[in-house]
Amino acid sequence: MKLTILGCYSATPRALTNTTSQVLEINNHMFLIDCGEGTQVQLRKHKIKFNRIKHIFISHLHGDHFFGLVGLISTFRLLTREQDLHVYGPKGIKEIITLQMKLADSWTNYKLIFHELISEKSELIFEDDDVEVFTIPLKHRVYTNGFLFKEKEGERKIDINAVEESHIDVAYFRKLKQGFDVENEKGVLIKNEDVTFSPNKPKSYAFCSDTVYNESMVPVIKNVDVLYHESTFLDKHENLADSTKHSTAKQAANIAKQANAGTLILGHYSSRYDDLNDFKLEAQTIFKNVLLAEDGKEFDFD
Amino acid sequence: MKLTILGCYSATPRALTNTTSQVLEINNHMFLIDCGEGTQVQLRKHKIKFNRIKHIFISHLHGDHFFGLVGLISTFRLLTREQDLHVYGPKGIKEIITLQMKLADSWTNYKLIFHELISEKSELIFEDDDVEVFTIPLKHRVYTNGFLFKEKEGERKIDINAVEESHIDVAYFRKLKQGFDVENEKGVLIKNEDVTFSPNKPKSYAFCSDTVYNESMVPVIKNVDVLYHESTFLDKHENLADSTKHSTAKQAANIAKQANAGTLILGHYSSRYDDLNDFKLEAQTIFKNVLLAEDGKEFDFD
């Protein structure tokens, strides 16, 4: 599981900082999460292949989280993309994009599928053999969801030496990977656990931005391996966080602690602060394992 | 009159090139012309004060000419802008912007005035004491206008030595600047031209992008001082220019020649070409005074 931060600042793109967007590589998927203005340029700078992106998740319809979406969709068209693109986001996102396509008389040559979200409860919005994605209802000035990405338990791994010693025919490997006991060439039943290794522990990632301090998300993200939680402000501006429906670093850490997260990544910083390390120090008074998002930073969780 | 190119490439923003946007300073106005994705960052990079921009002109609703508009409008709001902003562009532009403001529940705190264009004929869309702006109907895949910016003739300039010698009271200076003859302190009528200098010759700038080769614009831009004309392609790709409703460098030069323009600036290059100088060389076979737009380049025409 690998996370690339394309942008992690709030409000507006600037010469050296970008608004929210990130790419999560998980079980061979490449999910784009939020898409602030300039995201397509950030993708190019980080040499992320456009055609690996098949699913885009938009948290909410504030500009710093989605003004780059229409441009990315348009660029996919210009690059003669053929494969489907799925966009998950609040109701209204389809109207915004299609209105612009209509007025530009520029419809995509690929299939563009919108999954508009309206639920106030966590729901499963994507699932295949490898991954599940759930919404995380957040509390912000407009309808907002975070997203929980969960690897599914993988197949068991063959212990090559053990299967040879146990004289198991290769035809049974498929069943072994699925966890079944099998008979060997002599008709003896071999226990699965004697000839296979456990799969890697499935990993999970929760993206929570933007939101005011909101304990109701804790049950949804309980025991998540990596939690990205917005920290627009420091504790000294807690009032401002409350009134603008954002969080402080301390509040983010409190959520991480209650959720028993493995790692907390902070981001969505207000541009008023000079030293990002203050966010880390503040959060670490509550929760130890804190990392700071920075534009262009890659986190490898394998 | 000063022109700053913020972006001059076609299709999509890339790591090192920007889509169309430029700033024209003319008679104390600062007009923003087109607004591709990332324009607000380009404005910051070039240290152009946001609050000097009061009028934005959008040629057409293809993304490379306006996907940065909603972000710029939104950033003006976040910066607590108070003064009015006028946006001129094709019908539909208001719906695109207001829909996004509605869904983000983020209305501007300043007055945002849309001037939606539908005419197929050149029309005066802005005028004050200093400047006039006319549309230039272009032919592209969607409804498109170029814009003609014309300085008005300034006031005559007082020849201080001459007015002193002629014993003209200072109370008459206002009338002298307006071109009137006046009486001196002895009641003698003094001819205006004897005590004033002619004002600077008014300058004009025509922005023509995007368009297929289109001689019908020539009468509108006749004798323009500076013509920016798109040259997406070189002559060897003329068929492609025709089919996509764009122009070649040679065609741009032909328009400049017929219009008797002072200077031709080329731009809106396709990314397929490595050497921009090929555009200049090709245009110069038809029209001598050719300049190349480049991102960040400033042209001073004073």
Burial B202-218 (b: 16+ CB within 10 A, else e): bbbbbbbbbbbbbeebb
Q: Which residues of chain B lie closer than 8 angstroms to A34, CB-CB? A: none
**CA-based nearest distance A72→chain B, Å:** 9
State how far the Cα of A234 lies from the Cα of A23, in Å rounded to an integer.
26
Which chain B residues in 107-136 lie under 8 Å from chain A, judged by CB atoms? Answer: none
Query: Which residues of B are identified as catalytic?
Result: 64
Q: Which residues of chain B lie closer than 8 angstroms to A95, CB-CB? A: 99
**In DSSP terms, which residues pair with A193 in a beta bridge?**
none
State how far the Cα of A170 lies from the Cα of B257, in Å rounded to an integer.
78
CB contact under 8 A, A38 and B13: yes
- What's the pLDDT at B302? 87
A67, A91, A117: best to mutate for the B interface, most B CBs within 10 A: A67
Q: Which residue of B has its CA nearest to A70?
A: B67
**CA-based nearest distance B79→chain A, Å:** 10
**CA-based nearest distance B265→chain A, Å:** 26
Instruction: Report DSSP state, residue B4.
Output: E
**CA-based nearest distance A22→chain B, Å:** 17
Mark the ranges of chain B whose per-residue pLDDT is less than 70. none
CB contact under 8 A, B13 and A45: no
A210 flagged as catalytic: no
**Is B208 within 8 Å of B146 (Cβ atoms)?**
yes
CB contact under 8 A, B99 and A103: no
B20 burial class (0-12, 13-18, 19+ CB within 10 angstroms)?
Answer: buried
C-alpha atoms less than 13 angstroms from C-alpha of A253 in its C-beta half-sphere: 20
Domains in chain B: ranges and CATH? 2-154+200-300 (3.60.15.10), 157-197 (no CATH)
Q: Does B160 touch chain A (CB under 8 A)?
A: no
Q: Which residue of B has its CA nearest to A67?
A: B71
A62, A100, A106: best to mutate for the B interface, most B CBs within 10 A: A100
Chains A & B: contacts with CB separation below 8 Å: 99
Give the model confidence (pLDDT) of B71-104 as tens digits.
999 999 999 999 999 999 999 999 999 999 999 9
Q: Which residues of chain A lie closer than 8 angstroms to B92, CB-CB? A: 99, 103
Q: Which two tokens stand for residue B97?
A: 């912007």
Give the model confidence (pLDDT) of A111-154 as tens digits.
999 999 999 999 999 999 999 999 999 999 999 999 999 999 98
Q: Does A7 touch chain B (CB under 8 A)?
A: no
Mark the ranges of chain A whose per-residue pLDDT is less than 50. none
Q: Which residues of chain A lie closer than 8 angstroms to B37, CB-CB? A: 37-38, 40, 68, 71
- What's the pLDDT at A297? 98
User: Phi-psi category of B4—alpha, beta or left, where left has phi over 0 and alpha has psi -120 to 50?
Assistant: beta
C-alpha atoms less than 13 angstroms from C-alpha of A100 in its C-beta half-sphere: 28
pTM for the whole thing?
0.94
Q: Which residue of A has its CA nearest to B42?
A: A15
Which chain A residues in 46-65 lie under 8 Å from chain B, judged by CB atoms? Answer: 61-63
CB contact under 8 A, A63 and B74: yes
Q: Which two tokens stand for residue B145?
A: 């206008």
**In DSSP terms, which residues pair with A11 in a beta bridge?**
none
Return the SS3 of A40: helix
Q: Which residues of chain A lie closer than 8 angstroms to B78, CB-CB? A: 11-12
- What's the pLDDT at A65? 98
**CA-based nearest distance B231→chain A, Å:** 19
